[in-house]
Structure 1
Amino acid sequence: MKKNPVATITFSNGSVIQIELYPDIAPNAVTSFIYLAKQGVYDHYPIERIVPGWVLDMSYHAFHNPKACYFIPNDVKSGKYLEAVPGTIGLGGYGAPEIAGGEFFFPLADCPAITGVYPIFGKIVNGMEEIRRLEQLETYPVPYPGEPNVKINTPVYPVFIEQIQIETFGVSYGEPTRLTGIAKPLFWPCVSP
């Protein structure tokens, strides 16, 4: 019987979160996450955005890495998707149908406005208490380029993703399907095609 891949995120404080990924629900989101994790794109990166009661957003700058500057087709268009609720992980985007290839987030509450919009591609199987601890970190507001109503709260004392390790149980996930011809956000470390 095929096992779902498992991601293990280790933070700079030594805490660990384990996530079961669901390629049957969000195949391209899972492939993209695994692809970037295996290239070390997420390693040694500070958490950029915390909105208590809403989301814990790892990055909105494509992890300051040109390797993560791409969009993928939105898996939710298949009609098969998970609810965005605490204990899940999803990929964010910049307006349907464009989904950022690597910018992942954790819902901190039930988020019906996100459900069916952004692909939820896994569930936390160990370490939800770390997500709740991160939610309580002291933050300061940061302006979001061109969007004054978007809340960006960055931790006063940075917490880093030290490493993301992936166990695929022998399955190869390759590279994600990318979309072309989409203008990238101005604050990504890349240029538009």
Structure 2
Amino acid sequence: MTDADRLTLQLSTGGDVVIKLRPDLAPGHVERITELANSGFYDGVVFHRVIPGFMAQGGDPTGTGFHGSDKPNLKAEFSDESHRRGVASMARAQNPDSANSQFFIVTDDSPFLDRQYTVWGEVESGMEYVDALPVGEPPREPGKIVKASVGKAAA
């Protein structure tokens, strides 16, 4: 995997969110995100928790926030990377080693999350489509990932 890998999330809010993957920070999490995205796992999955001025969370195939993939949970890969606007990080339960498939995109700087959640990417373009996601926990009519895929960045 090279530094050029990107996760593209085609959102129901009208466009693509392109996330630069950071295997230098979280190789295991990047591998999981890549595997799930390329298998179609995230296609049609909703953002079940969208809090204005904080973050948008998705990645649960049931849309409830209580489930993940059938793969084993991941060991935490915490780093010193700050949770600033546009950072993609893994959601987890209380146990630090409980991340699975759920992730969130930070919509406002949230340094209180630093060194407690695994940062695995950063949005390069398309934050306006994240900002446009319907808000709520859960939203009445949640926004969703139409299609997710991982590939090389255009040269």
TM bucket normalised to smaller: 0.7 to 0.9
User: 2:74·2:100 contact (CA, 8 Å) conserved in 1?
Assistant: yes
* CA distance in 1: counterparts of 2:120 and 2:130, whole angstroms: 17
Aligned to 2:51: 51
Aligned to 2:5: 5
Match of 2:61 among 39, 60, 63: 63
Of residues 20-29 and 160-169 in structure 1, the stretch that sits farther from structure 2 once superposed is: 160-169
Deviation at 1:154, TM superposition (A): 1.8
Deviation at 1:89, TM superposition (A): 0.3
Of residues 120-129 and 10-19 in structure 1, the stretch that sits farther from structure 2 once superposed is: 10-19
- Relative to structure 1, the CA distance from residue 10 to residue 68 in structure 2 (aligned partners, 3 Å threshold; closer, same or farther) is farther
* CA distance in 2: counterparts of 1:127 and 1:71, whole angstroms: 29
Aligned to 1:161: 145
Q: Secondary structure at the match of 1:31?
A: helix
Unaligned runs of 5+ residues in structure 2 are none
Aligned to 2:108: 109
* CA distance in 1: counterparts of 2:101 and 2:150, whole angstroms: 15
Counterpart residue identity of residue 61, structure 2: F
Aligned to 1:90: 89
Unaligned runs of 5+ residues in structure 1 are 140-152, 170-193
Q: How many residues align?
A: 148
Q: Secondary structure at the match of 1:163?
A: strand
Give CA deviations for 1:105-153 in whole Å, capped at 9, x if unaligned. Answer: 011222122111111111111101112222xx354xxxxxxxxxxxxx2
* CA distance in 1: counterparts of 2:81 and 2:38, whole angstroms: 25
User: 2:68·2:102 contact (CA, 8 Å) conserved in 1?
Assistant: no
Identity across the alignment (%) = 23
- Relative to structure 1, the CA distance from residue 55 to residue 19 in structure 2 (aligned partners, 3 Å threshold; closer, same or farther) is same
Q: Secondary structure at the match of 2:32?
A: helix
**TM-score normalized by the length of structure 1:** 0.69
Deviation at 1:25, TM superposition (A): 0.9
- Relative to structure 1, the CA distance from residue 66 to residue 74 in structure 2 (aligned partners, 3 Å threshold; closer, same or farther) is closer
Aligned to 2:74: 72
User: 2:13·2:129 contact (CA, 8 Å) conserved in 1?
Assistant: no
1:98-177 to 2 correspondence within 5 Å?
A: 98-134=97-133, 137-139=134-136, 153-168=137-152
User: 2:12·2:145 contact (CA, 8 Å) conserved in 1?
Assistant: yes
